[in-house]
A and B are shown apart, each in its own frame.
Chain A
Amino acid sequence: MDSSRDNLFTRFTTFWWALFVFAGFGVLLAVIWLFNNSEPKNLEDVVAETRYKNKEEVLKAQATALPQEAIDKAISVVATQLAASKPAAVSTDAQIVPGSARAKAKEAGGSVDPSAINKEAAESKDPVDPAIVEKGKASYLLCGACHGQNGEGVPMAGPPLAGSEWVTGPVSNLAIIGFRGIIGPITVAGKEHKEFVAGMAPMAAAMSDEDFAAVLTYIRNSFGNKASQVKPEWVKAFRGEIGKPQLPTSELIQPEAK
């Protein structure tokens, strides 16, 4: 056996050689990393710098203003409150989002007397514009989800519009239904419907006057219905109703049954 290699010096140097080899890769990595942390050069990095700085500031502000212990303490309280809370109606003007339907309703003014409009609609002999009807038909797609694409009604979703006295009746009813929605039982063509427990949402609150008038004209002249065209200014008059809760049919003008 060759023992000339096996001496203390060789063992000692091999120990340090091993340490060097084992750690060498990591040391090289650290050196490359440290020398590579240069200032950002391209646009993305420059923009990112600002973003990171903002993030740091936000995090710092949050940490001082909202420490974790305060959050932990508040969580159960807030959770109980949320579980017990009910949606609150708008109470001050500051709560109304600018440009929203509520804001436009406020501009349009308060309640308006419907009788003049209803009289004009009932007595109107003007021919119905087919272009308006077509435009209304395009918008009707969404209404058809509950009322049926042919106005036949959808079980549990919406009553039929075909042969409905509400549709051919006073225009104010239609406008108010569009802007406020309906809740509760409704009698259509002699049949009482109590199954629509959710009622109707104010589907027209976000529509423009022209679009809403077009849809009303469409439903008043389709599915076997025949009635006068609805003018946009009639609809506009009722904008003030937006934001009021869903109303039961008893509060509407009862149409003459067919």
Chain B
Amino acid sequence: MSSTAQSIQDAKLRADIDRSLRHPVMFFMTSGAAWLAVSIILGLISSAKVHSPEFLSGFGWLTYGRVFPAHIAALVYGWGFQAAFGVMIWLMARLSRQECKSAGIILAAGHVWNFAVSIGLLGILGGAGTGVPWMEFPTFIWPVLLVTYFVIVVWSFIQFRVRPSGYVYISQWYIMAAMVWFPWIFLTANLLVFVFQGHPVMAAGIAAWFKSGLIFLFFTPVALAASYYLAPKVTGRPIFSYTLAKLGFWSLAIIAPWAGMQKLTGAPIPFFLPYLGAAATALLFIPALAAGVNILRTTLASPEAVEQSPSLRFSVAGIIGLLVFGFAGLFLNLPGSSLKLTQFSLSGYGFEILALYSFFSFIMFGAIYFIVPRITRREWLSRRLISMHFFFSVYGIIAVSVVALFGGLMQGIGQEEWIQPWINAATRTYPYAIFITIAWAFILFSNVFFFLHLTLMWLRLGRRSSHPTLLVSHHGGSSPHGAEGDIDNAGPGSADAHAH
């Protein structure tokens, strides 16, 4: 076969794969974005309650103890998982060159997941939350989530197994790892906390371990898989260093499972556990640095791509978020100094939001801006909407992360002065809490644009064009994609292109 025919064949296969997946992936992306908006509203309310407890105080279901867990649950299980699912199944299908034959089942499972999360959220707001951080859903929900998860991702497992022999992409390592690690930590944590009657203090430690495991062993690998795909794909250059990628993967796999128990420093559990957790969390800057350097060296080799491509710009922002997050993990967990200051403060929240939003969500946004045009065969309607989304999110998340981390330190310093009355520590936190509320407002604003844009694409109202929507417009200039035309009769695979 000639190379042109081969590439047309390849393009056709990719288009077929995209077509087969469009319903489940679009569903996950759109419902995930909706949950993101819900979670940000709940986050705004809970952040407001920190500094103004009388805000919406007439509603019992909006007390801080209910609205904050609801915010986290919507962010993690509503947005985080669904974005991860969408990206995982699309990436694995594309990289394994397999069409998705179970789109209907995945879509049904996705609906069940949404239903379970909604019931769980109503349960939390109704007062039936378990009180265990990040495992707040009423206890009958977690088996449903586990089974649904299995039904969604097992097909990707199969696709990997039947892939054409040859090279295994870096993204595939990460996706396989995430697919297997999540049920391990989820089942373990839920069994040990809710099913097996063990020591209750240890259950708190296991919950803290689960929170950390979810961030480092599920969300991180999925985000890294997406960025290891997008960076070479959009820039057209190979990954900077394969060895560094291997180092990053294996260091994550070895270090991350130990992290998490530092939340329980000082609790009556075996002494080595919290210190091990702190050490592991601090050491996680190694995989963060490895992946960060690798991807940034790959992308910054072609800066014009970062400037123009929305997916790449979001991915690079996400990788920078990863580096900040890695170093925050190092900085916040030094046992001699910062651990005692940040243990019961805003810093923990800032660290989680840094992981979930500034790293994971930004890379998911980048992946969504890449994937959605391919599965809907429409281009994004407005580069300005994308820009607004980007800049407001960046401002907002820098504000949330920096303020929460720094404010948490200040709060911790106030709390350590045990001779002073507690109100002193609370007063120190006051301005930082207000700033965080304002920052969430910015992020809500940005995600309204995102959700609007995504819904329009879901409704097939995107631009019919063979040119991608870039952040910089090429008015009149020549584009490497050729003349712009309708998606069905222009572009590299069309007759027009081959007439020259």
Contact = CB atoms under 8 A, between A and B. Distances in A.
Partners in one complex: yes
A30 B154 contact: no
Interface in A1-55: 1-2, 5-7, 10-11, 14-15, 17-19, 21-26, 29-30, 33
Interface in B160-200: 161-165, 179-180, 183-184, 187-188, 191-192, 196
Interface of A: 1-2, 5-7, 10-11, 14-15, 17-19, 21-26, 29-30, 33
Interface residues of B, number: 20
Given A22-B183, A26-B191, 5 more contacts: A5-B164, A21-B180, A25-B188, A29-B187, A29-B192
A19 B150 contact: yes
Contact of A5 (B162, B180, B192): B162
Given A19-B154, A23-B183, A26-B183, A10 B161 contact: yes
B240 interface: no
Secondary structure at the A interface, as helix, strand, loop or mixed, is helix
A11 B184 contact: no
A44 to B, nearest CB: 13
B157 interface: yes
A14 B191 contact: no
19 contacts: A5-B165, A7-B162, A10-B162, A14-B162, A15-B158, A18-B150, A18-B154, A22-B150, A22-B180, A22-B184, A24-B184, A25-B183, A25-B184, A25-B187, A25-B188, A26-B184, A26-B187, A29-B187, A29-B188
Interface of B: 97-98, 150, 154, 157-158, 161-165, 179-180, 183-184, 187-188, 191-192, 196
A5 B157 CA distance: 14
Given A5-B165, A25-B183, A18 B188 contact: no
**Binding site secondary structure of chain B:** helix
A5 B158 CA distance: 11
Nearest to A5: B162
Contacts, number: 58
Contact of B164 (A1, A14, A19, A21): A1
B162 A18 contact: no
B168 to A, nearest CB: 14
Contact of B188 (A11, A21, A26): A26
Contacts of A25: 183-184, 187-188
Nearest to B163: A5
Contacts of B150: 18-19, 22
Nearest to B96: A6
A33 B183 contact: no
Contacts of B191: 26, 29-30, 33
Nearest to A27: B187
A5 B98 CA distance: 12
Contact of A18 (B158, B163, B165, B187): B158
A165 B183 CA distance: 85
Nearest to A29: B188
Contacts of B183: 22-23, 25-26
A14 B161 contact: yes
B100 to A, nearest CB: 13
A112 B165 CA distance: 110
A7 B162 CA distance: 8
B73 to A, nearest CB: 22
Given A2-B165, A14-B162, A21-B180, A33 B188 contact: no
Contacts of B163: 5
A33 B164 contact: no
A29 B97 CA distance: 36
Contacts of B164: 1-2, 5
A7 to B, nearest CB: 8
Contact of B187 (A14, A17, A23): A23
A14 B163 CA distance: 12
Given A6-B162, A25-B188, A26-B188, A1 B180 contact: no
A21 to B, nearest CB: 6
A19 B192 CA distance: 20
A15 B160 CA distance: 11
